Amino acid sequence: MHQLDMNFSLPPRVSELADRVKAFVNETVVPFEKDKRWTSHGPTDALRRELNALARKAGVFAPHAPAEYGGQHLSHIGRAAVFTAAGYSMLGPVALHCAAPDEGNIHLLDVVARPDQRERYLKPLATGDVRSCFCMTEPAPGAGSDPGQLQTTARRDGNDWVIDGEKWLITGAEGAAFAIIMAKTSGAGMEGAATMFLADMSDPAITIERTLDTIDSSFVGGHAVVRFNGLRLPADAVLGEIGQGFRHAQVRLAPARLTHCMRWLGAAIRAQDIATEYARRRTAFGKPLGEHEGVSFMLADNAMDIHQAQLTIWHTAWLLDKGERASTESSMAKVICSEAIARVADRALQILGGLGTTRDTVVERFYRDVRAFRIYDGPSEVHRWAIGRRIVTHGAR
């Protein structure tokens, strides 16, 4: 009989780093949660840089980055432990420089970029000197949950490419030094070809039309509408191979879905801790709230949702570390975690009662921010559809 080797022990180096990150977030980052530089459009770049400097001083800055740029090139399991510890404050990933979209762009560039592109784009991004954005999503009728509806075009003009189109909900565009742009280079739908391009955001042919007012507020630079009007780029601006944009996108998207889950899991643990402490000290009807089954059951359900999310993350990370694509598992993780974490936020707010509706705790902000998680990086319905299609085509496993 074959035995399954199930080892949930973290490597000592990773465990020690996660502990240091947890202490750093609690002692150094949490006090910044009342900083007025955390705006409705996200933390300002000045706040980001100050937090980055503190993370460097504590020796926990960008541990996921390539070792050649000062990082520790963490495995996916390593990221699961460290990013969850960072997520205990929504400013933690900002401080460690492991927040979206930069974390996903660092990974994409590390895998796909040429040596000259690594020097020009990856190096300053990995070291936190600059920020970046990933320009994929478009307003209707363009690409949203269906990337095959991509409308932004890139056409050849001599040795150059000329890009025209509009993107929206582009996270971090305001203040970003460069963009990774997905544009259609031939054909239609997913049968057509898309290509990724690198472009400096300072180019006058790139316009940030507005920063959107959104339900969430934890991403530096907010979410913007970006227009490309005759953006002319040289041939060497292509990231990866011409026509391979959709394939390269999977290099970024599967791990990036999972790192979102890791960071939000940390916030869910924080919400549970806040709700638990309140349930212990707040009294009603002659005893602490936590002694009422209606409240203790919510705490128990939170604990189970957190546990399920953590196991799902670790399993998918393990598969990625083995070199597997883990497309189905990352889709499952995205749905399981986004919905479980949303339930944790909802119950924590409910336990806090009137306090939960205020900004006297971070639960209210977390509750609003985590609602968007069920939409970005693929809505739950799209992932369910993809999982179901694979089941019908290939069987349950």
Residue 54 has pLDDT above 80, yes or no: yes
C-alpha 78: how far from chain center: 16
Task: Read off the pLDDT of each residue in 374-394 and give the average, rounded to a whole number.
Answer: 95
The string of DSSP letters for 355-367 reads GGGSTTSSHHHHH
CA of 81: how far to CAs of 8, 77, 84, 344, in Å? 11, 7, 5, 19
Residue 188 has pLDDT above 90, yes or no: no
Residue 190 has pLDDT above 70, yes or no: no
Number of helices (H), then strands (E), in the chain: 12, 12
Q: Give me the pLDDT at residue 253, please.
A: 87
How, if at all, do strands 193-200 and 206-211 pair?
unpaired
Task: Read off the pLDDT of each residue in 78-84 and give the average, rounded to a whole number.
Answer: 98
Regarding the domain with residue range 12-99, which homologous superfamily does it belong to in the CATH classification? Acyl-CoA dehydrogenase/oxidase, N-terminal domain (1.10.540.10)
Amino acid at 348: A
**Sign (positive or negative) of CA dihedral 144, 146, 149, 151:** positive
Range of weakest confidence among 14-18, 121-125, 165-169, 186-190: 186-190
C-alpha 120: how far from chain center: 23
- DSSP, collapsed to helix, strand or coil, labels residue 205 as coil
Q: Mean of the per-residue pLDDT values for the chain?
A: 95
Distance of alpha carbon 61 from alpha carbon 83, whole angstroms:
12
Q: Give me the pLDDT at residue 8, please.
A: 87
Beta bridge partners of 163: 154, 231
Confidence category of residue 359, pLDDT binned at 50, 70, 90: very high
Q: What percent of the chain has pLDDT over 90?
A: 94
Instruction: Return the higher-pLDDT residue of 6 and 301.
Output: 301
Residue with tokens 């095959």: 148
Q: Give me the pLDDT at residue 98, please.
A: 98
* Residue 182 and residue 194 in contact, taking contact as beta carbons nearer than 8 Å: yes
Distance of alpha carbon 77 from alpha carbon 71, whole angstroms:
16
Answer whether 0.75 is exceeded by the pTM: yes
Domain ranges for the chain, please list them: 12-99, 132-239, 246-394
Q: Which two tokens stand for residue 254?
A: 């599967």
CATH class entry, domain 246-394:
mainly alpha
Task: Read off the pLDDT of each residue in 237-258 and give the average, rounded to a whole number.
Answer: 93
Q: Give me the pLDDT at residue 53, please.
A: 98
| CB-count exposure of residue 328 (10 Å: 0-12, 13-18, 19+) | middle
Q: Give me the pLDDT at residue 208, please.
A: 98
* Residue 124 and residue 164 in contact, taking contact as beta carbons nearer than 8 Å: no
Distance of alpha carbon 270 from alpha carbon 25, whole angstroms:
11
Residue with tokens 């040795």: 159
Residue 171 has pLDDT above 90, yes or no: yes
Helix (H), strand (E) at residue 197: strand 193-200
Longest dimension (CA), the chain: 80
Alpha helix stretches (DSSP H) within 231-362 = 245-281, 293-321, 327-352
CATH of 132-239, one of 1.10.3720.10, 1.20.1740.10, 2.40.110.10, 3.40.50.1980: 2.40.110.10
How, if at all, do strands 132-135 and 178-186 pair?
parallel
Residue 75 has pLDDT above 80, yes or no: yes
Helix (H), strand (E) at residue 130: none
Residue with tokens 């402490």: 277
Q: Give me the pLDDT at residue 7, please.
A: 84
Q: Give me the pLDDT at residue 191, please.
A: 57
* Residue 201 and residue 180 in contact, taking contact as beta carbons nearer than 8 Å: no
Q: Give me the pLDDT at residue 202, please.
A: 98
CA of 17: how far to CAs of 51, 58, 71, 83, 391, in Å? 18, 11, 12, 11, 39
Q: Give me the pLDDT at residue 395, please.
A: 81
Q: Give me the pLDDT at residue 4, please.
A: 63
Each residue of 193-232: pLDDT tens digit?
999 999 999 999 999 999 999 999 999 999 999 999 999 9
Q: Give me the pLDDT at residue 144, please.
A: 94
Instruction: Return the higher-pLDDT residue of 396 and 68.
Output: 68
Neighbours of 2 (CB within 10 A): 4
Task: Read off the pLDDT of each residue in 175-188 and give the average, rounded to a whole number.
Answer: 91
Q: Give me the pLDDT at residue 187, please.
A: 66
Each residue of 134-161: pLDDT tens digit?
999 999 999 999 999 999 999 999 999 9
Q: What angle do CA 356, 303, 42 make, to 5 degrees?
A: 45
